[in-house]
Amino acid sequence: MPATVVVGAQWGDEGKGKITDHMAESADFVVRYQGGNNAGHTIVVEDERFALTLIPSGVLNDTVTPVIGNGCVIDPAVLLEEMATLKSRGIDPSGVRISNNAHLIMPYHRRLDAVMERFLGRQQIGTTKRGIGPAYTDKFARSGIRVQDLFDPKIFRQKLEVALREKNLMLTKAYNQLPMEPGTIADEYLEMAEQIKPYVTDTSLLIWNALRADKNVLFEGAQGTLLDIDHGTYPFVTSSNPTAGGVGAGIGIGPMEIGRVVGVAKAYISRVGSGPFPTELDDKIGERMVEIGGEFGTVTGRRRRCGWLDTVALRYAVRINGISEIAFTKLDVLSHFDSLKIAVGYRSHEATYDEFPRQQRVLYDCEPIYQEVPGWSEDITAIRNYEDLPKNARDYVELVEDLVGVPIATVSVGPARSATILK
């Protein structure tokens, strides 16, 4: 059976966790292929709220094997803590499988993430300060330390010493910080190695065998298309490829193994951190979206910037990921507005755009071209059949389908698992 990919079609926080958890009911494997504990997945199961950052959302289904692929960066302390928290709440996380080739987030990555951001001042990216960027920097500089190195203490200590020789120079000379001690870090990590060992495996082979055995494999993207290192609003992006193209490299399978790409998009749009955002609402409407939508980050608690749905960006996400259907979330947040706006293009002093502009400057300078549609006043959170939605809500959904050219297959009207309409 070809695999399914769930990707964020905006700047992250689209509600992928809820959609993945819902789809995981029929999945055998739920696989993360990029990112680390910068991702926040909030899932509500029977009034219980789970906030996961590293372990795939599928862990809440006891028939699912959650997998963390080689394209991820792993902070082992966070992994163990998240497993312990799940266990204390009655969820058995012992089925988790972790790639031997995933890179480790080290304490100096976290420290550098924080001081580099401070150093950037007004140009800062607004990272989650979890060490994600510096860990990927080391991966591509070929000076990273991988999960498998934890099981060879001599090599681990050697690699750590070499890394710290450079990092300590950066910390002390460039950023005026105290140096870090390799021995202490090695002891701490090698102790965690023993606890992590039972979960480590060749995850590429695991997924290859699963696909050959006709298992249902679901890839769970973290962050979103517009935060992709190649296709996002660089440099205000994360340091990996959350787009569907990241799956092949991030787990080690070929493109022919993927048969379905589900793009998750909120009925409006939000972003955390810095960077351009054409439809941002710096007014009472934006404020209302934050309040009603509970738009505060799962990882950092930061207030998210909110704005009207941007179908220029959404069509871009459809193209970049090969999205075959959309899961449309938080439609309930748009209830009780007299009218709603949808961006269908951008206008700058030079030109109008119906495709995502190739020159990023345009995103700062442009005005969105809006189509305005009537809102609805009914509370829709208890509705479970598409036909029962108010006509204006259905018209809104169907207009978005027309504008982006792919079907909206799922509509989410609340955080609970059950608050999901299959269209």
Catalytically active residues, by annotation: 13, 41
CB 72 within 8 A of CB 99: yes
Distance CA 153, CA 356 (A): 49
**Residue of 6, 132, 313, 419 that binds ligand IMP (CB under 6 A):** 132
Residue for token digits 């082992």? 76
* Residues in 253-312 at the binding interface with ligand IMP, rule: CB under 6 A: 272-273
Which lies closer to ligand IMP via its Cβ, residue 31 or residue 222?
222
Q: Which two tokens stand for residue 270?
A: 């939000």
Closest CA to 216 of 62, 32, 27: 27
Residue closest to ligand IMP (Cβ):
273
Assess 34 for contact with ligand IMP (CB under 6 A). Answer: no
Query: At 37, is the secondary structure helix, strand, or coil?
Result: coil
Minimum CB distance to ligand IMP, residue 59 (Å):
17
Minimum CB distance to ligand IMP, residue 239 (Å):
6
Cα–Cα distance list, 378 to 71, 333, 372 (Å): 44, 11, 19
Show the site string, 336-375: x = touches ligand IMP by CB under 6 A, - = not: ----------------------------------------
Assess 43 for contact with ligand IMP (CB under 6 A). Answer: no
Q: Which two tokens stand for residue 404?
A: 């982006």
Which lies closer to ligand IMP via its Cβ, residue 128 or residue 216?
128
Show the site string, 203-242: x = touches ligand IMP by CB under 6 A, - = not: -------------------xx---x--------x-xx---
Closest CA to 266 of 62, 12, 4, 1: 12
Cα–Cα distance list, 217 to 23, 33, 52 (Å): 10, 12, 20
Which lies closer to ligand IMP via its Cβ, residue 89 or residue 302?
302
**Continuous H helices in 2-88:** 16-23, 76-88
* Residues in 64-103 at the binding interface with ligand IMP, rule: CB under 6 A: none
Minimum CB distance to ligand IMP, residue 335 (Å):
24
Assess 133 for contact with ligand IMP (CB under 6 A). Answer: yes
CB 342 within 8 A of CB 265: no
Minimum CB distance to ligand IMP, residue 14 (Å):
9
**Number of Cα atoms under 13 Å in the Cβ half of residue 221:** 36
Minimum CB distance to ligand IMP, residue 227 (Å):
5
Which amino acid type is present at position 149?
D
Contacting residues toward ligand IMP, per CB under 6 A: 12-13, 38-40, 125-128, 130, 132-133, 222-223, 227, 236, 238-239, 272-273
